[in-house]
Structure 1
Amino acid sequence: IVLRPTTATPEKFYAAADLVCAPSTGDEAFGLAVLEAMSCGVTVVATDIGVIPRILGSGQGDLLVAPDDPAALAERLSSWLERPADRQRIGAILRQRALRGFGMAGGIDRYERILQSLATAHAVGG
């Protein structure tokens, strides 16, 4: 385990990581570290709390553990560390999810759809 200070270029640290652990115990306002790791293609094991399950996406239950169960967290981390091919596959899936769901292009597309629907509703409603 290596703890580093805040940096403007976190991707170099994520690129060196085999796995990222996000053991939050309180409500996460957003889960930026989870999203950063995902965008770099790194598998994330996190606690099932706040917005983290939503960020990871459906079907990723094997990445989540209860926030009050350190033994389960340790077991899950150990399990993922023993499966490099699975980590790589899931990391690629998480990267695509991060880029599509939270990247600049995806955000612009969602914003454009919202504006279009508001304009249509205004035109229909007068």
Structure 2
Amino acid sequence: MRVMVLVKATPESESGLMPSRDLLEAMGRYNAELIEAGLLKAADGLRPSRDGKRIVFDGPSRTVVDGPFPATQELVAGYWVWEVKDMAEAVAWAERCPNPMPSRSEIEIRPFYELADFT
């Protein structure tokens, strides 16, 4: 089962605050463990929403909205794509993750649709 593990944005990540050296090293070790376990398929951090764009679809019309976007707690600051046997394994690995932010933060795990879901 493939899952996307979303690191939710915080006021710090939205301000562009870069992670500390200690956090970068801890995340590097964690990612190395994910690679060694054969779970990690992709991972990256995202720049603050002020550097982003949204495209709003309404029927045939398209509107481009420049960042920053409100509702920081609903934004994504980074992600991983993991291949796990089930959601319990994904949760177990997420619980081992260093806190990805300097303050309170959240990680959300969402399974991808698989071809079998459509048949």
TM-score (norm 1): 0.21
Higher relative contact order (CA 8 A, sep 6+): 2
Please state which structure has a larger fraction of its residues in strand: 2
TM-score (norm 2): 0.22
Larger radius of gyration: 1
